[in-house]
Amino acid sequence: MADTEQREGSILQFAPFQSAVDEGFWHKLSSLKLNKLGIDDSPIPITGFYAPCSHSKVSNHLTLLAESLPSESGEQSSTAHGNRNRCAIPGILYNTNTIESFHTLDRTSLLKEEAKKIWEDIHSGKAIEDSSVLSRFLLISFADLKKWTFHYWFAFPALVLDPPATLVDLRPASQWFSSEEAESVSAACNAWRNSSSTADVPFFFIDIDPNSHATIRHLKDWVTCQGDNHKLLFGFYDPCHLPNNPGWPLRNFLALICSRWDLTSVQFLCYRENRGFADIGSSLVGEAVIAVPQGWKDRQFIPNAVGWELNRGKLNRGKMVPRCISLAKSMDPNRLAESAADLNLKLMRWRALPSLNLDILSGLKCLLLGAGTLGCQVARMLMAWGVRKITLLDNGRVSMSNPLRQSLYTLDDCLNGGELKATAAVRSLKRIFPTVEAVGIVMAIPMPGHPVPSQEELGVLDACKTLHDLIDSHDVVFLLTDTRESRWLPSLLCANLDKITITAALGFDSFLVMRHGAGPFSSNEDLKDEAVNALSTDLGNLDLGGRDERQRLGCYFCNDVVAPVDSTANRTLDQQCTVTRPGLAPIASALAVELLVGILHHPRGIFAEGEATSSSNSGSSEMPLGILPHQIRGSFSQFSQMTLVGHSSNSCTACSGTVVSEYRKRGMEFILQAINHPTYLEDLTGLTELMKSAFSFKLDWDADTDVDDDDCVEI
């Protein structure tokens, strides 16, 4: 209220409390809402801070900081006691889920409920033991986390004295005390404020003996300090700077004095400071006459209360309105983008997917082999799921035909011969989401069927070692290249290192998305650590005893009966390019990333069995994300999709125990032989003998044999 001079015999008027909220409070509330509270709108205990007025022109505010809120673990943030600049007082926060709920809150009932707590604390004696509860406050809010806008309204409940207190005298303390008393009171106040045990105790009383010696005491000592010729004043930390009005905390203090000690005349000190020391010149001493209101001796009686903060809106014709603050403009754009990107994922955990593990996703390191149509889409889908560490490997350049189908490139990337795809893709990802940790690797993948001249062997071996190190340093590998043979070496290395591997491949109007099974020498034991279970098993912890390969899921090459060869030689342009219906890549890419998320959230991780839609042991009723298939094959010509399961093959040229063992024995020498000699892998795995057996096998049909229809088996 405005500074108004109060005359003797007039009603005592108080300057209302004012609030201030630090940005850190809203940031922490947002995090608490998204990560822990969800749709739970139960009241939250909070802590506010204030201190005595320390400036002749500005009142101190009740301030909310980040530590005013409880931690996300559920514990109330620890508040250091003895901080002279932070007198802690308890509060309650009602944060609604919608703006409509915020506007329809019953503010009268909420205020009365908090006033009741103050009234009960007075009668129980708690307010004497812990006087901070006399300044208990209330905050209602709505956090619009899409726009980073916060609507809020404070209330500082004050019990209404009826009849109201009458002012007898109010003047600066320097005019009320003698010079000796003023000096002693000032010294006593400074000692009280400098003691860690009393610095943040906001209500007290001052005992001045006949020798003008002042002592400050706790309220609980009131009864034992009654003495002849002693001056007794009730003191409180006054946040108000006005020279003619005491601050708001005095209201409930008078209610306590009136109710507990039946005093009808009260002398009080409005304690204020200047530069950290008691300022007797700006502090006020007053005397008020109070009458015990009717019904106050009845504990069941609850006095009326006032206290909603006076926020008057310019556009609301002076009506009291809530406050609104927007932090969007003041936030760092990168931080704002990160918060907005995670919003959808955190909202999933409110109702739809409480078990979603965002920590696993944000810490996951994904290697994308291929930055073309599939690679661009997969990278964006990974970011949408909260993956922040992405490496793209490709040796191609952006051509004029790419931007329409490959979503990370624009026309500018095609100019001057075309930007390297790995470089352009990373730059685009960082434009989309600045805090993504994206890396581009320009490198060709060595491939079987593409013989290497002797003068180029060292370069190819370096590429093989680089690819091995990249796969070893990542948790997940996506095979997104456009030729079959370019997937062979990564498939072998992933099987050897036991990495989660996802393949996506496109035909003209069909697609395949699949997850590779664990390596042939991996342990099939259930992993206890969920985070480790979700990620690939460390090579050093592998059980080399082997296991039944019939139970292991197959890789991309397990159904092949020939080794991968050069698929681009002697091909027309339409056969060399990936000619597909444009809608295939987004669908296949989305399924590939969804498959990964399913693996990460499955209890058995990479060892999870393949499930089909009609599987009797389908985990759809148990797993929060539904079934976890091995292969997903789709067809646009039929607008159909089916899930299949294929187990590993002992003759697989990429993941069989024979091939992985040979690689472990011979290393890069084995890789070179597989690249330069097309039939080597077939000979090694027994596919050559298998094909010979198949060609030599003859079926003898007896044309004269009569077969009844009843003997036929319907397939």
CATH code for position 458: 3.40.50.720
How many whole angstroms separate alpha carbon 448 and alpha carbon 659? 14
Please give the pLDDT value at position 25: 94
Q: Give the pLDDT confidence score for residue 715 in this predicted structure.
A: 29
Q: Do 547 and 448 share a domain, yes or no?
A: yes
| Assigned domain for 131 exists | yes
Number of folded domains that form the chain: 3
How far is the C-alpha of 504 from the C-alpha of 578, rounded, in Å? 13
Q: Are 658 and 546 in contact (CB under 8 A)?
A: no
Query: Which ranges of the chain have pLDDT less than 70?
Result: 1-9, 74-82, 227-228, 312-318, 523-550, 566-578, 614-622, 694-715
Which residue in 440, 560, 438, 441 sits closest to 505, CA to CA? 560
Q: Does the annotation count 366 as an active-site position? A: no
Residue 359 lies in a domain: yes
Together in a domain, 493 and 427: yes
Residue 1 domain-assigned?
Answer: no
For 472, how many CA atoms within 13 A lie in the half-sphere containing its CB?
Answer: 9
Phi, psi of 75 (to 5 degrees): -85, 140
Yes or no: say if 239 and 273 are a contact pair by the CB < 8 Å rule.
no
Nearest to 500 by CA among 606, 388, 390: 606
pLDDT of residue 615: 52
Q: Measure the CA–CA gap between 409 and 388, rounded to whole angstroms.
A: 20
Assess whether 294 and 321 both reside in one domain: no
Indicate if 227 and 355 belong to the same structural domain.
Answer: no
Asked if residue 26 and residue 117 are part of one domain, the reply reads yes
Q: Do 149 and 171 belong together in one domain?
A: no
Choosing from 189, 577, 652, 655, the catalytic residue is 577
Residue 558 resides in a domain: yes
Determine the Cα–Cα distance for residues 685 and 658; give it in Å rounded to an integer: 7
Question: What's the confidence (pLDDT) of residue 688?
Answer: 84
**pLDDT score of 320:** 80
- Say if residue 318 is in the same domain as residue 407: no
On whether residue 6 sits in a domain, the answer given is no
Q: Is 354 inside any structural domain?
A: yes
Q: How far apart are CA 330 and CA 334, in angstroms?
A: 12
Evaluate whether residue 713 is within a structural domain: no
Q: Residues 653, 564: contact at Cβ < 8 Å?
A: yes
Asked whether residue 712 is domain-assigned, the answer is no
DSSP string, 337-362: HHHHHHHHHHHHTTTT-TT--HHHHH
Residues 320 and 415 in one domain: no
Q: Are residues 564 and 590 in the same domain?
A: yes
What confidence score (pLDDT) does residue 2 get?
47
CATH number, residue 107 = 3.40.140.70
**CATH code of the domain in which 174 resides:** 3.40.140.100
Is the domain of 436 the same as that of 551?
A: yes
**pLDDT the model gives residue 1:** 45
- Taking each continuous run of H as one helix and of E as one strand, the counts in the chain are 20, 24
pLDDT given at position 705: 47
pLDDT in tens, 500-541: 999 999 999 999 999 999 999 876 544 334 333 434 433 333
Domain residues for 598?
341-612+623-696
pLDDT value for 595: 96
- Domain check: are 184 and 265 in the same one? yes
Q: Let me know whether 678 and 651 are in one domain.
A: yes
pLDDT at 333: 76
